[in-house]
Amino acid sequence: MIDADMTLEETAEGIRTMEIRGAGRIARAAVEALEAHAGGLRPATLEEFRAGMQRAADLLVATRPTAVSLPNAVRNVMRTLEADVPLADAKIAFHERAQAFVASSIGAVARIAEFGARHIRDGDVVMTHCNSDAALACIIAAHREGKAIEVFATEVRPRGQGLVTIRRLNDEGIRTNYIVDAAVRSFINEVDLVIVGADAITVSGAVVNKIGTAPIALAAHEARTNVVVAAETYKFAPLTTLGDLIPIEERAPSEVLSDEIAAALPHVRVRNPAFDVTPAEYVDLIITEQGAIPPSMAWLIIRDYLGWSIEQFHQAGDRTGP
């Protein structure tokens, strides 16, 4: 849940600066912020309500371009405003859809944990990267089932999200090894399973996740270690069906080098992409709240669970242009 005292603008800034982070948490925070914003508007007409909510939606969606959970979540709740109904009914429908989305998002992680734990065997050594609620839920569920597991968790440069992960694992009493990102290949032969989350999944089954995921998947592929991705269905990217590319967010150089050090290196340009793309052929399974699928079935998730019809794809293409 977001802080009830946060304004829409504060929530947007929290998402942009990564005070609110993790694709699922971002999605829920955005929907909760929209719900609170809707309650504070005093429109005279349905058209005014739609316009005010669309401005709010646009502000939130612009904060993090890579995590498609954000626009998917916003689209999910904004669709309620497409119906021509009395203003009071539109407000009620929006509130109910927002509440349902948040509950569904939380429930999705629980379902993924249930499915994911089945793929972790007693005695397995599991590697994870970044701080994914869904991936961690699978590991913790397996541990709570009594399976004796061990985890390798990466540091996750440059912001160190791995520290959040190891604290959670430690609190659960799970034996954990904390390693720098570059040490993955040194330990991959000790690992039985890699399980990570996702910020976006394309129609081809390629996975966009925290920078460093693709090298881990490559090392696992070479070591013949299975790679499992745990992701809610709203992390699938519908517009990739049209050939759209998911933009890879590049964050501030100051996350890597302090401004003071950078100023002393005038010929050095710091590059800081926040995500990378793991090809579908390096992913063995994607676990969603609807069940486990091979990457080649990503299209079915977009069609059957995100509710995008062929007509909507074409309409979206007309709006976004070439």
SS (H, E, C) the chain: CCCCCCCHHHHHHHHHCCCCCCHHHHHHHHHHHHHHHHHHCCCCCHHHHHHHHHHHHHHHHCCCCCCCHHHHHHHHHHHHHHCCCCHHHHHHHHHHHHHHHHHHHHHHHHHHHHHHHCCCCCCCEEEECCCCHHHHHHHHHHHHCCCCCEEEEECCCCCCCHHHHHHHHHHCCCEEEEECHHHHHHHHHHCCEEEECCCEECCCCCEEEECCHHHHHHHHHHHCCEEEEECCHHHECHHHHHCCCCCCCECCHHHCCCHHHHHCCCCCCCCCECEEEECHHHCCEEEECCEEECHHHHHHHHHHCCCCCHHHHHHHHHHHCC
* Range scoring the smallest mean pLDDT among 197-201, 299-303, 313-317: 313-317
Question: Span 29-42, mean pLDDT?
Answer: 95
Question: Span 265-287, mean pLDDT?
Answer: 97
Q: Is residue 138 among the annotated active site residues?
A: no
Mention the CATH class of domain 8-110. mainly alpha
* Range scoring the smallest mean pLDDT among 93-107, 147-161, 185-199, 308-322: 308-322
Q: Which of 124, 133, 138, 199 is catalytic?
A: 199
Q: Which of 130, 133, 138, 284 is catalytic?
A: 130
Question: So where are the chain's domains?
Answer: 8-110, 118-320
CATH tag for 118-320 (out of 3.90.550.10, 3.40.50.410, 3.90.580.10, 3.40.50.10470):
3.40.50.10470
Question: Span 19-24, mean pLDDT?
Answer: 84
Residues 6+ away with beta carbon under 8 Å from 176: 150, 151, 152, 153, 166, 169, 170
Q: Is residue 130 among the annotated active site residues?
A: yes
Amino acid 315: pLDDT:
52
pLDDT in tens, 200-232: 999 999 999 999 999 999 999 999 999 999 999
